Amino acid sequence: MMFNNQNVTISPKATIGKNVRIGDNTVVFDNVVIEDNVTIAHNCIIGEPLNDYYLNSAYENPITVIGANSLIRSHAIIYAGNKLGENITTGHRITLRENNTIGLNTVIGTSVDIQGNAIIGNYCRIYSSVAIAPLSQVGNYVSLYAFVVLTNDPYPPSNDLKGCTIADYTQVAAHSTILSGIRVGSNCLIGVNSVVNHHIPDYSMVMGNPAKLIMDVRKYVILGKGRLYPWMYRFSRGMPWEKLGYDNWMNRESNVDIK
C-alpha cells in the first residue's frame, strides 16, 4: 500500500506517535492520540466531532485514542471519544460512534456499526455487518458472527434504553438478535438466526425464535470429535494461550495476578 501524503489533514492538536502511517484523503481531528506503529489507511476520519461541534462555537473535541500497533482500514469513521486498545484490526467502512471502549487485540470486520457508549472486551471477534446498539457490553474472547444485532430499546421508540450484556467466551452465530436488557452468560453458544428474549445462563446452547435452551453446551458432542465446548481447549489461533494451551495460560495468569 502506497502512502503518498496526499490530501492528509492532521489537526495541530492531535498527538501522533512513532512509526505511524496515515493514508491519503484521511482527516485526523483535534485531541486524537494515535499511539506508536499504527497504520491508518486511505479515506478515514479519526475523531469525527460530535453534534455540538456544529452548534456550539466553544465545543472541544473529546479525546480519542487509537492504541499502539493497530490497523484501521480504509473508509473507517471513528467518532471522538473512542478509546481503542492496542493491536486493534478493523475491516473497511466501519463506523464507531462516540465514546466506545474497545479492548486490546480485538478484530472488527467490514461494515460493522458500533453505535456509541458500548464496551467491548479483549480478544473479541466482531464479524462483518454486525450492529451494536448503544449501552451494549461485550466481555472478553467473545465472537459476534456476521449480521448479529444487539439492541437496546424494549418498546421502540422509547427513552428507556437498556443495553444487552454478553459475558466472556460466548459465541453468537450469524443473523442472531439479542433483545434489549438481556444478559447472555459466559461460555454460551447462540445458534444461527436466534432471537434471544430472556436471560441465558452460563454454559447454555440456545437456538430458535424465540431462543430455547437446547442443552448444557459442555454436553455437546460430535462423533469423531468429542466434546467441542468450552471451545478454548480446541481453538487457540490468535489467542493469548496459542503457544501454551488454555490451562497452562490460565495458570500463568493466576500466578501473575497473585504476584
CA nearest to 62, candidates 77, 42, 75, 47? 47
Say what the pLDDT of residue 85 is. Answer: 98
Mean pLDDT of the 116-121 span: 98
Please name the residue that has the C-alpha cell 492531535: 14
Mean pLDDT of the 96-103 span: 98
Mean pLDDT of the 99-116 span: 98
Say what the pLDDT of residue 210 is. Answer: 97
Percent of the chain with pLDDT over 70: 98
Mean pLDDT of the 219-226 span: 92
Asked whether residue 205 carries a pLDDT value surpassing 50, the answer given is yes
Confidence of residue 81 (pLDDT cuts 50, 70, 90): very high
Asked whether residue 259 carries a pLDDT value surpassing 50, the answer given is no
Mean pLDDT computed over every residue of the chain: 96
60-70: per-residue pLDDT in tens? Answer: 999 999 999 99
Confidence of residue 257 (pLDDT cuts 50, 70, 90): low
Mean pLDDT of the 92-111 span: 98
| 83: amino acid identity, one letter | K
CA nearest to 104, candidates 120, 82, 127, 128? 120
- For the chain, the structural domain boundaries read 9-221, 222-259
Say what the pLDDT of residue 258 is. Answer: 45
Asked whether residue 55 carries a pLDDT value surpassing 90, the answer given is yes
Percent of the chain with pLDDT over 90: 95
Confidence of residue 159 (pLDDT cuts 50, 70, 90): very high
Q: Whole-prediction pTM value?
A: 0.95
Tell me the fold of 9-221.
UDP N-Acetylglucosamine Acyltransferase; domain 1 (2.160.10)
H/E/C letters for each residue in 41-99?
CCCCEEEECCHHHHCCCCCCCCCEEECCCCEECCCCEEECCCEECCCCEECCCCEECCC
Mean pLDDT of the 35-60 span: 97
